[in-house]
Amino acid sequence: MKKDNCIFCKIANGEIPSKTLYEDEEFRVILDLGPATRGHALILPKEHYADLYELPEETACDVMKVAKKMAVKMRDRLGCEGLNLVQNNGDLAGQTVFHFHMHMIPRYAADGQKIGWKPGEPEEEELEEIRKALAD
């Protein structure tokens, strides 16, 4: 399904032009208009899923296949020395466009970007409590 008034539905399905790097039946990969680095790209499913929670498992697998293909091209043709895959879900996590997308951010020496977090220092009990909550 496509969603009315969703900009990424329109871009993914070619109703709004974009700098397309790759396209198949399921996905379009485009250059981000506000790139973190040279070659920052977005993998967009052509169907509308707001986020990872809505994304079907099979589509999630296929996203990684596209990411793998693009990663090799970015390394070989742009000469990036590293690559971050970033995928935000929810306002709090920094999602601003509510159509699932995977960021591919090629990394270069001195690109001036920092994608990361401040490491915590949890007690063993806390780790165990979380493990119990999440492990089956």
Q: Could you list the residues that contact ligand 5GP (CB under 6 A)?
A: 7, 18, 30-34, 42, 88, 94-97
18 binds, among Zn ion, ligand 5GP, none (CB under 5 to 8 A by kind): ligand 5GP
Which H or E run includes 69?
A: helix 57-73
* Residue with smaller CB distance to ligand 5GP, 12 or 80: 12
* Residue with smaller CB distance to ligand 5GP, 34 or 120: 34
- Binding interface with Zn ion (CB under 5 A): 3, 6, 8-9, 48, 99
Cβ neighbors of 50 (< 8 A, separation 6 or more) are: 98, 99, 100
Smallest separation, CB 57 to ligand 5GP (Å): 21
CA 75, CA 39: separation in Å to the nearest integer?
Answer: 10
Smallest separation, CB 2 to ligand 5GP (Å): 16
Please name the residue that has the structure tokens 């929810």: 90
Structure tokens, 116: 């990361």
CB 51 within 8 A of CB 98: yes
Task: List, by residue number, the catalytic residues.
Answer: 101
